[in-house]
Structure formats: structure tokens, C-alpha cells
Amino acid sequence: MSERQVPAETFASGASLAAHRHREAYAALVVEGVYEETSLDGCFRCVPGTLVVHPAFHCHADRFGAEGGRVVNIPLPRGAADRLGYRVTDIAGYDGLLTELRSRPDRVVEAVTASGAARAPAAPPAWVGGFLADIMDGQPAARAASRAGVTTEHAGRIVRHWYGDTPIKLRREGRIRAALGALREGAGIAEAAVLAGFSDQPHLTRVLRQATGLTPRSLRAG
């Protein structure tokens, strides 16, 4: 199978995708262009040869540069993607992967493992780490911003640029991830709600249905 035969999604110059999630796990291999992917995991610059593994329901946003881009999306077995977690890596000689990707998605896992350590995200301003830690601990945005020495409005702009969403939505995403992780590990629904910081089981159920379209019971079974 040649590269031309592998279906790829094309994005126009300056295209952007607001924070969104995919129900199924997949890997994105960049074959042309440059874009930035932002999420609770940070900001990553993706260029030809960058491979991004997304576990099921991972939430992220994308900003394409002047060149636009072409990206091959490869479905992954959920278990393999969950074990790897969200990961950005650069594949040397990635053209060779394109002959197998559609028929052998397990090659993605092999390629990621062989590539070594995952790439770290770009570093935001120094105050952002403490600000986000306060947000994740449940502090109001105004108090977290004051502790960081910035205004609430400035904090919101910077965090959105580096992480793709507002501070409060990122806190919600952190709790969603914690709940999904607990459910995948076999926790009961009420236990997952407590571990992830939700007020009660109905609150967890409501948020997960909004985010994924599924109930905690369905997610636990999957």
C-alpha cells in the first residue's frame, strides 16, 4: 500500500479545532504541515513524523499553521492505547509505517515503544504550573490567579493558549480523566465519584454522559 492510498485528513491553512474528544482510541501520524495540539497534557508542536497516541475519550484542541496539514488517523485497540496513555513521539523513517498502518495498527504500538521516551510538552510561563495545581485542587480561578501574581483574565488567556481550554473546563477534564481511570481499574461507580472529586454518583453520571455519551456503568464494562 503506498502513502497515497492511506486515507489522510487534510486541514487548511490556519485551521483550528476547538477542544473535542474521540470515542475510540487512535493514533495520529502527521505526514504534511505543522500544527500545535493542546490539552491538559500541555502543548505539543506536531510536524511530519510526529505520532500522537490518543486514548479513548482524550480531549484536545488543534491549531494549524500557514501550511495547513495532512494527518493519518489510525484506529487503535483501546487496551493498548490505555496502557500507553497520551503520548507524543517522533518516528524516524515514518514513511515505512504507512505501508502497514491500516492493516496492522499494532505497528503503532511497536513504533512508539521502539522510539524511546515520549516527548515533553513545550514549557509554559513558570507561574502556570502553580496556578493549574490550585485549580485542580478546587481553588476559585480568582484566588489561584492572585496566588500566581497575575489577573484572572490574563491567567485564562495564557492557560487557554497553552492547554486548549479554560481553567475551569480543564479542572473538569482532570476529574473526568480520574473517573475514567478509576472505572477502567475496576472501581465501583460511587467509589470512582469520590476518587475523582465529584460531589456524588449522580454528578459523576451526569458529567460523564455529557462528555462521552455513555454512563459510568457502560464505561466500566468497556
Write the pLDDT tens digit of every residue in 144-179. 999 999 999 999 999 999 999 999 999 999 999 999
Tally of domains in the chain: 2
d(CA 97, CA 83): 21
- Do 100 and 202 have their domain in common? no
Buried/exposed 64-94: b ≥16 CB within 10 Å, e otherwise:
bbeebbbbbbbebebebbeebebbbbbbeeb
**Predicted local distance difference test score (pLDDT) of residue 3:** 37
Q: Give me the CATH number covering residue 38.
A: 2.60.120.10
Task: For residues 13 and 109, state if they share a domain.
Answer: yes
Task: Answer yes or no: do 8 and 110 share one domain.
Answer: yes
Q: Are residues 8 and 102 in the same domain?
A: yes
Q: Are strands 42-46 and 59-75 parallel, antiparallel or unpaired?
A: unpaired
pLDDT at residue number 2? 36
121 domain-assigned: no
C-alpha cell belonging to residue 121: 510538552
Please state, for a pLDDT cut of 70, what percent of the chain lies above it: 93
Q: Are residues 156 and 188 in the same domain?
A: yes
63: helix, strand or coil: strand
Task: Name which residue leads in pLDDT, 81 or 24.
Answer: 24
Q: Which of the two residues, 97 and 102, has the higher pLDDT score? A: 97
Cβ within 8 Å of residue 199, ≥6 positions away: 193
Q: How far apart are CA 75 and CA 175, in angstroms?
A: 25
- Mapped onto helix, strand or coil, the DSSP state of residue 74 is strand
Cell numbers that stand for 33 in this block: 504541515
HSE value, Cβ hemisphere, 13 Å, CA-based, for 10: 5
pLDDT of amino acid 97? 74
What contacts 69, CB < 8 A, 6 or more positions away? 10, 11, 15, 30, 32, 33, 34, 35, 46
Q: Which residues pair with 73 in a beta bridge?
A: 28
**Digit-coded pLDDT (tens) for 52-78:** 999 999 999 999 999 999 999 888 888
Beta bridge partners of 44: 37
